[in-house]
Amino acid sequence: MEGMIAALFALILCLWAQWNVKHTYKKYSQIQNARGLTGAQVARTILDMNGLTHISVEHVSGDLTDHYDPTRQVVSLSDAVYGKTSVAALGVAAHECGHAVQHAQDYQPMILRSKVFPVANVGSRLWYWVFLAGCLLSGFASNLSSTLLWLAVILFGAVTVFQIVTLPVEFDASKRAMGILETEGFLEGNEEVSGARKVLTAAAMTYVASLINSLIQFLRLLASARRR
């Protein structure tokens, strides 16, 4: 019963976090920055200020699909950010540039996340099927079933570790973003600064909620493996 309550709590938290980031982004996407700068312009300026002239800024379709690709060294900005002048757009653009600066400065948590990612990627694809196989075999191949269940725990554990190391990377990128948006005058007045901060905080909460959900799921898998 306690496990079901914890799982329900985690689900509600994730749903709330997703609703909150969309609601907050929508609200501050309607508030334009006083200087009329677009997300793409701000991104290009921030990159150049940090000596990252070799990193390009590209438009990518979709909403909230913004990301920095360290392999291609490209900051990709979505429809709602690239050519938009909203406070929300500037916050997101600066955040992605924060990741580019982290990469250039060999920010250790980002390096660690890159190393964990291949294992976590495999784990996210396989853990459920391995766990399911372990459950199905529990009635007539107990040793194999136990091995598979523990393997599922390890695979999902890699996913959880990835989410843990992701938190400092995301929080630091937002901190860098807000610092430069304020000090360089991209945003003017308390409303603009506060709006960008709220957008980035709401986005960060989605990572926190996902981590809590994963931790609860990991503990449930661990308990299941121990019972075998």
CA–CA dist 77, 86 (Å, integer):
13
Q: Is 2 labeled as catalytic in the residue annotation?
A: no
pTM exceeds 0.85, yes or no: yes
Given a cut of 70, is residue 1 above it in pLDDT?
no
pLDDT digits (tens, 9 = 90+) for 140-162: 777 888 899 999 999 999 999 99
Q: Write out the residue range of the structural domain in which residue 42 sits.
A: 2-227
Q: Which residue is catalytic, options 2, 58, 96, 188? A: 96
Both structure tokens of 53? 């002239």
pLDDT band at 228 (very low <50, low <70, confident <90, very high): low
> Quick check: 10 pLDDT over 80?
no
Give me the helices (H) in 69-188, please.
Answer: 87-104, 108-136, 142-183
As a whole number of angstroms, the distance between CA 177 and CA 195 comes to 13
- Domain total of the chain: 1
Tokens 């997300």, residue located: 39
